[in-house]
Amino acid sequence: MEQRTQFYIDGQWTKPLGSGKIEVFSPTDGAVIATIPEGNAADADKAVQAARRAFDAWAATTPAQRAEYLKKIQDGLKARTDEIAKAITLEMGMPYKMSQRVQVGSPTASFGMYSKMLATFPFEEQVGHSKVVREAVGVVAAITPWNYPLHQIAAKVAAALAAGCTIVLKPSEVAPINAFLLAEIIHDAGLPAGVFNLVTGYGPAIGEAMVTHPEVDMVSFTGSTRAGKRISEMASATVKRVALELGGKSAAILLDDADFSVAVKGVVGNCFLNAGQTCTAHTRMLVPAARYDEAAKLAVEAASAYRVGDPMAEGITLGPLASKMQQDKVREYIIKGQAEGAELLIGGADLPEGVNAKGYYVKPTVFGKVKWDATIAQEEIFGPVLSIISYSDEDDAVRIANSTLYGLAGGVWSATDEHAEKVARRMRTGQVDINGGPFNLYAPFGGYKQSGNGRELGKYGLEDFLEFKTMQFKPAPKA
């Protein structure tokens, strides 16, 4: 069992001021695989003060200097890819080979992207007789989730460092070990003391202390909409900048001219990625009423191909959910879906066959004939559960797609990209995949409505950590 007993604050590993410990559980069998410190408000203050002391010098570095550090961190992540992938698989359950590609590949690319971007990013421009400069917002409190733990950390940390900000990171206590490995890599890269700081603990204690701290200039949070609302309320007392990446209930609209043999499989794959624990998951599949039977049959075929089991084993395509709490929540939604009259096409609330009964597994599940306003069609489940909803025409499809309080992602499938794009433009959501278009690190990521505010990734993510300053110069006298 791995035991982490120190925080990374002010460039060194240091003993926590709090005395508590948090156990980290294996989703595969429920065993304790690690312990981490349970930080408190005093630990948060210590980390924030270190970040504040380091800010002026770090903000004054050149983009080229910051790029060099980011490249070293990227190289460090590459060198430890297998180790980090295994750690993430063991703590949150994504199949190992997929963890190598997604859970480590994506954050590694993020550090490299921002390293390269600094060579050309316009930190200042001339506007008439004014010089407009873009400067680091200040000390950033970054609070991150467990589903793509290192990816979400990198989206914040790499961009904030590139902007010239200093950071205090609190990762999720469900999947924290990867954050400690990143701290080791950052230390080895020689990042100046206090620029990056790592603490762990529960949100109501150390997280809220970070959010309300008067020396924190910005909070960047990824997690539930409920927690995001709480953070916004607390941060408002000190008028901090708040960036929120929250929940989703994304719809994939299959237009009548789409190739369903491709589209349905694509939607199921998107919905079940990471055992459905993806905020952008297309969990509502909207199909023309006349083609419902075809879509239902194809969805069952696609779902039945998934192999559920130990994420370290060969051939497994669906691992466990990350926690017992999440497993219980998803099972409750499945039971509720049946109670509200949806047709269970495959899966269900029972434990999958052949898995460790102490693990947090859920069957890949597809519901048919789901009403657009049913609980399972409106609330974020965060598990491998797909709802098939029929629509009458394209206007009805758009109405249903826009009917939730979320607006994070979505998809449109059609015989032509042009047709799909016309419908996509009507969806109130921050990201729409056209005919299965893949994720793009260089494009802005974030949502409409209660899916949050602000954007991550690409130049847009860098901009979120910058302030504008205008310096007015007296115009030269006219000749």
Q: List residues with catalytic annotation.
A: 245, 279
Give Cα 45 distance to the centre of its chain.
26
Calculate the alpha carbon distances from 419 to 291, 320, 403 in Å. Answer: 18, 38, 22
- The whole-angstrom separation of Cα 342 and Cα 374 is 8
CB 197 within 8 A of CB 47: yes
Distance CA 351, CA 81 (A): 32
Q: What is the rounded CA–CA span in Å between residue 142 and residue 31?
A: 29
Which residue carries 């970040």 as its tokens? 51
Question: 3: part of which helix (H) or strand (E)?
Answer: strand 2-3
DSSP conformation class of 445: B
What the block records as the tokens of 199 is 């603490």
Residues 6+ apart with CB under 8 A from 473: 129, 130, 131
CA–CA distance, 280 with 142 (Å, rounded to integer): 20
Q: Where are the beta strands (DSSP E) in 185-332?
A: 196-198, 218-222, 241-245, 250-254, 282-288
